[in-house]
Structure 1
């Protein structure tokens, strides 16, 4: 990193903090950035186009189209020079420019053009650039075209920041504490396919037990997340009803118009557990992805008997019950978990096997989390309740 003044050190710290807060470093490639770099490479006829971010003593590429590296030392980066000013940086021939000749890499970069990219607070965090191993002229018209594409990338970065904040909010809505249920253990996880998703799980104390919910709003992203947050809030507010059918009925009545206007539906498993008797009372609204792994190695699927929320406002919600005996494990999942296996309901058998092998519900969660890492195209959500073995 080049030597800078005290004021420069302070500016650099603020710049780095702004970049870190965006939550974009070391994230997987995304098509919304890749399509811009592909377009730029084709449009300008260059070997490489990239979205580069300057992170500490390195340059890291969020998107690269062409032969350029994903990561290089900062002191070899032309984008480091670009972020020193707000103006575009165009160097037709690095080898002939005394100020930049040391950054020329044969076979990779001898021409460079880049525009700075900004954090929401205005800090310069990186650059959108094109470069080539051969010197070339870059016209004023091409510079303006590059500016427009950089503006496109800038909009996507703004969306990234908004999604990062939305993700923090959504994760904050998930249960932050374990339930205090003597003789029982609970565990859950929600892994959205995007920054935010339409799945959620929830638990909270009710009487001599707990309410347990897993729901899946149709779709992905922000729209599905908003629907999911609304369903959670309505079901929680309906906790005053003494039975699960009353709670689901109240939620259905409150949500029908909104769901109909949005053209979506929500599958849900909503239940109440009596921790003393082990009786679980539940309504399954079109979900059908719940199974009980019995301590003796057998299993019991809890089938759905009603449509999803938002399909038929006249539905009469029927309460079903299941007995959870010592050593039994209830597993409720979203359909994204099925896709981690063969995509069919037979995938639930894999979860039963995990339950029989695991000493603790969190071991099941970690196994599913590991399987979903970097491979899931759908939201993955799991809710697990296990009754302790009899003494």
Structure 2
């Protein structure tokens, strides 16, 4: 939802509210606008092209070609007219001949502005928060063709402004769908997870929730939707919903099949595959039952030092329309752990073997009650890396 200023607010207050709702910090250059200003400078053959945003009383330069200053007091700018004028664009073909600007310090001195064209940048709620402007020391004409080109570039700049807000909101929603720290308490067990998307949003998911007639068992899922970005994130939410619906009533193998049937049309239309591991833990006995759909990144880490990597099970969801997934069973004894992770974690290591060995060692050497700290270390390492893929991990350990 876009924040809308109260009708009683001043234009300056409305701009501040709008910038805040977009998640835009006025100060500082932003490279995401550089392609626009570079193209504008070359396309129009001007000395200066800039994208700016304006708060209460200052115009901040977010990207500029031919201009080094970080900000200008709004009262000294040409763009104040662009923001206030009813017209869609403000064009000044010769500033020396314009009474509004003839005495401006930027006309009389550096950068000796003669020509100016500005197009306002507007939020979806209609608040003008900045400009795309062209500046040159020589007077010139500016016809309908040039005006249309400037409008198209301004539309691009507006889309970049708005996309940041939308992506940040999408990231917030996606994180809200993931289990939060401490959201499930399983007496006698540590249950910890993390998900670090490679971009603002990603296609990995992990989930856990109570199941069974008495809610004594715990269902857990880790999945990886093929692809990245918003598309993968949308499908991730759909996969999560389908598995939650099936997983509450059915054992793992049947739950995966039910979810696959429900998702079949969506996955076929989008040409998407989903690998996942879906498990059910019975805490009273330590029995872990799971079905693997082409995931294959699971380790059983025993307290006696043994490590087993169960083989990948069936095919990913979306491969065959009538596939079935078999179930596997293991028992977690005192001190034993199960670790499931996405293939993005492998990118943090030079080889697959190095990744498996380090994960197994890290889980085994963590003292009782220390899994949160271990997973936090993995999270920090992922966030400090140039990720090409999402990094997701779930660890469950039976307390000694």
TM bucket normalised to smaller: 0.7 to 0.9
Report the TM-score, using the length of structure 2 for normalisation: 0.79
Task: Go from structure 1 to structure 2 and tell me whether the alpha carbon gap of 1:188 and 1:240 turns closer, same or farther (over 3 Å shift).
Answer: closer
Task: Determine whether 1:72 maps to 2:71.
Answer: yes
Please say if residues 91 and 142 of structure 2, whose CA atoms lie closer than 8 Å, have aligned partners that are also in contact: no
User: In the aligned structure 1, how far is the partner of 2:19 from the partner of 2:393?
Assistant: 34
Instruction: Find 1:166's aligned residue among 160, 163, 170.
Output: 170
Rounded Cα–Cα distance in structure 2 between residues aligned with 1:66 and 1:234? 50
- Distance in 1 (CA, whole Å) between partners of 2:384 and 2:44 is 33
| CA distance in structure 2 between the partners assigned to 1:335 and 1:183 by the alignment | 29
Tell me how far apart the structure 2 counterparts of residues 95 and 331 of structure 1 sit (CA, whole Å): 71
- In our comparison, the structure showing a higher alpha carbon Rg is 2
- 1:188 is aligned to 2:198: no
Task: Return the match for 1:125 from 103, 124, 129.
Answer: 129
The one of 256, 268, 287 equivalent to 2:264 is: 256
Q: Is the 8 A contact 2:382 2:391 kept in 1?
A: no
Indicate which of 370, 384, 389 corresponds to 1:360.
Answer: 370
Whole-angstrom CA distance in 2 between matches of 1:374 and 1:106 = 43
Instruction: Please give the residue correspondences for 1:199-210 in structure 2 after superposition, counting only pairs within 5 Å.
Output: 199-207=204-212, 208-210=216-218
- SS of 2:292's partner is strand
Considering only aligned residues, what root-mean-square deviation do their CA atoms show, in Å?
3.7
- Structure 2 CA distance for partners of 1:302 and 1:18, relative to 1, 3 Å: farther
> Taking structure 1 as reference, are residues 339 and 168 closer, same or farther at Cα in structure 2, changes over 3 Å only?
same
Q: Counterpart of 1:49?
A: 49
Following superposition of structure 1 onto structure 2, how do residues 1-391 of structure 1 map, counting pairs within 5 Å? 10-25=10-25, 33-55=33-55, 64=63, 66=65, 68=67, 71-72=70-71, 75=74, 79=79, 82-87=82-87, 88-90=89-91, 97-98=101-102, 100-101=104-105, 106=110, 112-131=116-135, 134-135=137-138, 137=140, 139-140=142-143, 141-176=145-180, 178-207=183-212, 208-295=216-303, 299-342=307-350, 344=352, 346-355=354-363, 356=365, 360-373=370-383, 375-387=385-397, 389-390=399-400
> Residues of 1 paired with 2:222 and 2:29: CA distance?
28
Hey, what's the Cα distance between the residues in 2 that align with 1:286 and 1:108?
65
Cα-to-partner distance string for 1:23-69 (whole Å, 9 max, x where unaligned): 344899676x443333212212345534333356765555x364545
d(CA) in 2 for partners of 1:142 and 1:114? 12
By how many angstroms is 1:367 displaced? Answer: 2.7
Q: What secondary structure, in the 3-state scheme, does the structure 2 residue paired with 1:318 have?
A: coil
Distance (whole Å) between structure 1 residues aligned to residue 353 and residue 60 of structure 2: 41
Q: Quick check: 1:266–1:308 contact (8 Å CA) kept in 2? A: yes
| Deviation (angstroms), 1:305 | 1.9
Q: CA deviation at 1:164?
A: 3.9
1:273 CA drift (Å): 1.4
CA 1:67 to 1:273, structure 2 compared with 1: closer, same or farther past 3 Å? farther
Q: How many residues align?
A: 382
C-alpha deviation, 1:237, in angstroms: 0.7
Contact 1:284 1:306 in 2 (8 A): yes
User: Do the aligned partners of 1:52 and 1:128 also contact (CA within 8 Å) in 2?
Assistant: yes
TM-score by length of 1: 0.81
Compared CA separation, residues 389 and 123, structure 1 to 2 (3 A): same
CA contact (8 A) 2:335 2:399 kept: yes
3-state DSSP of counterpart to 1:321 = strand
- The CA distance in 2 between the partners of 1:170 and 1:357, in whole Å, is 29
Q: Distance in 1 between matches of 2:15 and 2:106?
A: 25
Aligned partners of 1:54 and 1:60 also within 8 Å: yes
**SS of 2:194 mapped into structure 1:** strand
Runs of 5+ in structure 2 lacking a partner?
1-5
How far is 1:104 from its partner? Answer: 8.6
The C-alpha deviation readout for 1:303-353, integer Å capped at 9, x for no partner, is 312110010233331112333344444332222232233374633434345
> CA offset at residue 366 of structure 1?
3.1
Structure 1 unaligned runs (5+)? 1-5
What is the match of residue 3 of structure 1?
none
